[in-house]
Amino acid sequence: MNKNNVLDKKEIEYLQTLVRLDGLHKEMFGKKRNINLPVKFTERICRKLLGLSEYKGKAYDAKDKNGGCTIEIKATCMPNPRTTFSREHEADKYIWLKLVAEDNCIEIIELDKKEVEVAVHKDKTKRTRASVDLDNINGQNMLIRFNYINMTFEGDDN
Protein backbone atom coordinates (compact mmCIF):
# COMPACT_ATOMS: atom_id res chain seq x y z
CA MET A 1 0.00 0.00 0.00
CA ASN A 2 1.26 3.45 -0.78
CA LYS A 3 0.34 6.50 1.32
CA ASN A 4 -2.67 7.24 -0.92
CA ASN A 5 -4.11 3.86 0.04
CA VAL A 6 -3.91 4.32 3.83
CA LEU A 7 -7.14 4.73 5.78
CA ASP A 8 -7.72 8.14 7.34
CA LYS A 9 -8.66 8.80 10.97
CA LYS A 10 -12.44 8.88 10.36
CA GLU A 11 -12.32 5.60 8.42
CA ILE A 12 -10.36 3.93 11.23
CA GLU A 13 -12.76 5.27 13.88
CA TYR A 14 -15.74 4.07 11.82
CA LEU A 15 -14.17 0.63 11.47
CA GLN A 16 -13.45 0.40 15.20
CA THR A 17 -17.05 1.48 15.96
CA LEU A 18 -18.35 -1.31 13.69
CA VAL A 19 -16.22 -3.81 15.60
CA ARG A 20 -17.65 -2.63 18.95
CA LEU A 21 -21.17 -2.85 17.51
CA ASP A 22 -20.51 -6.38 16.21
CA GLY A 23 -19.28 -7.43 19.68
CA LEU A 24 -22.36 -5.98 21.38
CA HIS A 25 -24.62 -7.61 18.77
CA LYS A 26 -23.03 -11.01 19.46
CA GLU A 27 -23.43 -10.55 23.23
CA MET A 28 -27.12 -9.76 22.81
CA PHE A 29 -28.09 -12.20 20.05
CA GLY A 30 -25.50 -14.99 20.11
CA LYS A 31 -21.96 -15.57 18.87
CA LYS A 32 -23.02 -16.65 15.37
CA ARG A 33 -25.15 -13.54 14.78
CA ASN A 34 -23.15 -10.95 12.85
CA ILE A 35 -24.02 -7.40 11.99
CA ASN A 36 -24.34 -6.55 8.33
CA LEU A 37 -21.39 -4.40 7.38
CA PRO A 38 -22.34 -1.15 5.61
CA VAL A 39 -21.85 -1.70 1.88
CA LYS A 40 -20.81 1.85 1.04
CA PHE A 41 -18.08 1.78 3.69
CA THR A 42 -16.68 -1.67 2.91
CA GLU A 43 -16.65 -1.04 -0.84
CA ARG A 44 -14.96 2.30 -0.26
CA ILE A 45 -12.15 0.90 1.86
CA CYS A 46 -11.59 -2.04 -0.49
CA ARG A 47 -11.34 0.31 -3.46
CA LYS A 48 -9.00 2.59 -1.53
CA LEU A 49 -6.70 -0.12 -0.15
CA LEU A 50 -6.52 -2.02 -3.45
CA GLY A 51 -6.24 1.05 -5.69
CA LEU A 52 -9.49 0.34 -7.57
CA SER A 53 -11.96 2.71 -9.21
CA GLU A 54 -15.67 3.01 -8.54
CA TYR A 55 -17.89 1.24 -11.07
CA LYS A 56 -20.61 3.53 -12.43
CA GLY A 57 -23.79 1.50 -12.34
CA LYS A 58 -25.35 -1.14 -10.13
CA ALA A 59 -24.01 -4.33 -11.69
CA TYR A 60 -20.57 -4.28 -9.99
CA ASP A 61 -18.80 -2.58 -7.08
CA ALA A 62 -15.44 -1.62 -8.57
CA LYS A 63 -13.22 -1.81 -11.60
CA ASP A 64 -9.49 -1.84 -12.04
CA LYS A 65 -7.77 1.44 -12.91
CA ASN A 66 -7.86 0.55 -16.63
CA GLY A 67 -11.62 -0.05 -16.43
CA GLY A 68 -11.34 -3.44 -18.14
CA CYS A 69 -11.93 -5.67 -15.12
CA THR A 70 -15.24 -5.72 -13.22
CA ILE A 71 -15.10 -6.51 -9.51
CA GLU A 72 -17.72 -7.66 -7.02
CA ILE A 73 -16.90 -6.88 -3.37
CA LYS A 74 -18.37 -8.92 -0.51
CA ALA A 75 -17.92 -8.12 3.18
CA THR A 76 -18.71 -10.27 6.19
CA CYS A 77 -18.01 -10.51 9.91
CA MET A 78 -16.71 -13.78 11.26
CA PRO A 79 -17.62 -16.43 12.30
CA ASN A 80 -20.54 -16.56 9.83
CA PRO A 81 -19.28 -15.55 6.37
CA ARG A 82 -22.49 -16.13 4.43
CA THR A 83 -23.46 -13.69 1.68
CA THR A 84 -25.37 -13.62 -1.58
CA PHE A 85 -24.29 -13.36 -5.20
CA SER A 86 -26.34 -12.25 -8.18
CA ARG A 87 -27.12 -15.02 -10.64
CA GLU A 88 -27.42 -12.43 -13.43
CA HIS A 89 -23.96 -10.81 -13.31
CA GLU A 90 -20.62 -12.58 -13.31
CA ALA A 91 -17.76 -10.30 -12.35
CA ASP A 92 -14.20 -10.70 -13.61
CA LYS A 93 -12.97 -10.77 -9.98
CA TYR A 94 -14.49 -11.35 -6.56
CA ILE A 95 -13.04 -9.63 -3.47
CA TRP A 96 -13.97 -10.52 0.13
CA LEU A 97 -13.44 -8.10 3.02
CA LYS A 98 -13.43 -10.31 6.09
CA LEU A 99 -13.75 -8.69 9.54
CA VAL A 100 -12.17 -10.99 12.15
CA ALA A 101 -12.93 -9.14 15.39
CA GLU A 102 -11.43 -11.90 17.58
CA ASP A 103 -8.02 -11.18 15.97
CA ASN A 104 -8.61 -7.40 15.66
CA CYS A 105 -7.97 -7.62 11.95
CA ILE A 106 -9.38 -7.19 8.50
CA GLU A 107 -8.43 -9.50 5.68
CA ILE A 108 -9.01 -8.68 2.05
CA ILE A 109 -9.06 -11.82 -0.06
CA GLU A 110 -9.46 -12.48 -3.77
CA LEU A 111 -11.78 -15.43 -4.34
CA ASP A 112 -11.25 -17.80 -7.26
CA LYS A 113 -13.76 -16.81 -9.96
CA LYS A 114 -14.55 -20.36 -11.06
CA GLU A 115 -15.05 -21.53 -7.46
CA VAL A 116 -17.48 -18.67 -6.79
CA GLU A 117 -19.44 -19.57 -9.92
CA VAL A 118 -19.56 -23.25 -8.86
CA ALA A 119 -20.86 -22.25 -5.40
CA VAL A 120 -23.51 -19.97 -6.95
CA HIS A 121 -24.72 -22.79 -9.21
CA LYS A 122 -24.82 -25.24 -6.26
CA ASP A 123 -27.38 -23.06 -4.47
CA LYS A 124 -30.66 -24.67 -5.55
CA THR A 125 -33.04 -21.91 -4.45
CA LYS A 126 -35.04 -20.17 -7.15
CA ARG A 127 -34.08 -16.71 -5.87
CA THR A 128 -32.26 -14.22 -8.08
CA ARG A 129 -29.40 -14.19 -5.54
CA ALA A 130 -27.56 -17.33 -4.46
CA SER A 131 -26.58 -17.77 -0.79
CA VAL A 132 -22.94 -18.83 -0.36
CA ASP A 133 -20.69 -19.53 2.65
CA LEU A 134 -17.41 -17.85 1.67
CA ASP A 135 -15.35 -20.11 3.93
CA ASN A 136 -16.32 -22.99 1.63
CA ILE A 137 -14.81 -21.33 -1.46
CA ASN A 138 -11.55 -22.99 -2.50
CA GLY A 139 -8.86 -20.84 -4.07
CA GLN A 140 -8.56 -17.90 -1.68
CA ASN A 141 -5.68 -15.48 -2.23
CA MET A 142 -4.91 -13.16 0.73
CA LEU A 143 -4.25 -9.66 -0.61
CA ILE A 144 -4.09 -7.62 2.62
CA ARG A 145 -4.30 -8.38 6.33
CA PHE A 146 -4.05 -5.60 8.90
CA ASN A 147 -4.68 -4.98 12.58
CA TYR A 148 -7.14 -2.09 13.00
CA ILE A 149 -6.39 -1.50 16.71
CA ASN A 150 -2.83 -0.24 16.25
CA MET A 151 -3.38 1.50 12.94
CA THR A 152 -1.89 4.83 12.15
CA PHE A 153 -3.48 7.20 9.69
CA GLU A 154 -2.43 9.76 7.13
CA GLY A 155 -3.58 13.38 7.25
CA ASP A 156 -4.83 15.71 9.91
CA ASP A 157 -7.66 15.37 12.46
CA ASN A 158 -10.38 16.28 9.94
Would you kindly state where each structural domain of the chain is located, as residue ranges? 3-147
What local confidence, expressed as pLDDT, does residue 115 receive? Answer: 93
What local confidence, expressed as pLDDT, does residue 156 receive? Answer: 40
What DSSP line would sit under the chain, residue for residue?
--GGGS--HHHHHHHHHHHHHHHHHHHHH-TT-PPPPPHHHHHHHHHHHHT-EE-SSSS-SEE-TTS--EEEEEEEETT--EEEEESS---SEEEEEEEEGGGTEEEEEEEPHHHHHHHHHH----SSEEEEEGGG-S-EEEEEEEESSS---SS---
Into which CATH architecture does domain 3-147 fall?
3-Layer(aba) Sandwich (3.40)
What's the pLDDT tens digit per position in 43-74?
999 999 999 998 888 888 899 888 789 999 99
What local confidence, expressed as pLDDT, does residue 153 receive? Answer: 45
What local confidence, expressed as pLDDT, does residue 116 receive? Answer: 93
What's the pLDDT tens digit per position in 2-19?
445 678 889 888 988 988
* Rounded average pLDDT over 70-98: 89
What local confidence, expressed as pLDDT, does residue 134 receive? Answer: 92
Q: pLDDT-based confidence at 32, cuts 50/70/90?
A: confident
